[in-house]
Structure 1
């Protein structure tokens, strides 16, 4: 399967990442909501391991499942997983559906080392993370539900990747994520931008932020806020 077509947006991925990182999730969410996509925010528990971390990039989707037998075939498949990441040839967000498991750590330092060598620039885990101190020292952005020292071996393992997955949502039970959808996260959480909307949402959010900045500057002058609201409409 050729996945590269899922990562073509008409604008280089590196430029998209840099432009999104100049924004904030609240504004991106507002644009998605206005476009009729209100259920694109992940569950409130998905937060960065350090408050100032920001991530942006296209999703490389991974599905994991409980693995109480420690299936060696499942574990060794991860080498192929990272090779498939590398083959795409652009920055990626390692995006993990952990099948609602709330016990083990589904991501850690070695995942980050392998991932970075394969093009990964950040990770979103609907589950747990460990080796957090190493990740912080490396300034590697990870967003997860919780942190724990519990090893995943004999508890959870990779099942498949580059398939539609479901992550817990803020307003819906599940937010669907497809390969090439764009993830953007900051202190307030993570939003998922469908691949077909990545450029449109970026441009509309940039315009929204420009208007907000103008309004903010006028509010700071002490002029009549009612008139300023009338001038700019709903902010």
Structure 2
């Protein structure tokens, strides 16, 4: 599997068409919760997934001799280029992305970051063009409150199981996960769907009745 080529092809697709193909395969449980959205309407990212899982702990716990932030920085230093990080933080309160982290990931060639949790410094993140999808925004950071527990382990977001190496398409409509074992076939089918939709669109704009266009191309 040529991951770079697949990513390039998938970048020409959109989440609705990907979902249609997944649904036709009986795999419609592929969409992350609709509360997970991009930082602005233009935010979009596709690519192979690297997963991150962590745990929050008692905010009152603090040991001056323990560097609680180091494990996070170590994650940033090893996040794989060309991938999208999907994070299950198991936290309803904290920001799992911020300005320095986003800039670090961007410089390292990470394609984007999707978290079932919070993000902060979002104006700056938008200004550097690093794609982030999150569930909420908050100034609360993770210092002495959260640590990563696993990288590239299976995670669940909503009711969707996600494994390292799966692919993601995230855009204005939502976030869709494609299992790695079928991604090549799905991308090919999505390209066929988009081509058929373009033919329907061209026919209707040329004056063809929508029913006739639908019967001719089988898409709408």
- TM-score between both structures, scaled by the size of structure 2: 0.91
Distance 2:32 2:199 in 1: 30
Q: Secondary structure at the match of 1:120?
A: coil
Are residues 1:156 and 2:146 paired?
Answer: yes
What residue number does 1:146 align with?
A: 136
Distance 1:204 1:176 in 2: 22
Q: Secondary structure at the match of 1:80?
A: helix
Distance 1:226 1:127 in 2: 44
Could you list the runs of 5+ residues in structure 2 that have no partner in the other structure? none
Q: What's the CA shift for 1:110?
A: 1.8
Q: 2:202 aligns with which of 204, 209, 217?
A: 217
Distance 2:82 2:196 in 1: 30
Q: Structure 1 pair 70/118, CA: closer, same or farther in 2 (3 Å)?
A: farther
Are residues 1:230 and 2:203 paired?
Answer: no
Distance 1:162 1:73 in 2: 23
Stretch of structure 1 that moved more, 77-86 or 178-187: 77-86
How many residues were matched structurally? 216
What residue number does 1:171 align with?
A: none
What residue number does 2:25 align with?
A: 35
Q: Is the 8 A contact 2:15 2:171 kept in 1?
A: yes
Distance 2:19 2:57 in 1: 35
Distance 2:26 2:156 in 1: 19
Q: 1:45 aligns with which of 22, 31, 35?
A: 35
Q: Is the 8 A contact 1:126 1:167 kept in 2?
A: yes
Distance 1:175 1:58 in 2: 16
Give the alignment of 1:183-222 within 5 angstroms. Answer: 183-222=168-207
Distance 2:168 2:37 in 1: 13
Are residues 1:77 and 2:62 paired?
Answer: no
- TM-score between both structures, scaled by the size of structure 1: 0.86
Stretch of structure 1 that moved more, 48-57 or 75-84: 75-84
Q: What's the CA shift for 1:80?
A: 3.4
Q: What's the CA shift for 1:23?
A: 1.2
Q: Structure 1 pair 70/106, CA: closer, same or farther in 2 (3 Å)?
A: farther
What residue number does 2:104 align with?
A: 114
Q: What's the CA shift for 1:121?
A: 1.2
Aligned Cα root-mean-square deviation (Å): 1.7
What residue number does 2:167 align with?
A: 182
Distance 2:168 2:78 in 1: 19
Distance 1:145 1:32 in 2: 24
Q: 1:95 aligns with which of 86, 103, 109?
A: 86
Could you list the runs of 5+ residues in structure 1 that have no partner in the other structure? 1-9, 169-173
Distance 1:232 1:107 in 2: 44
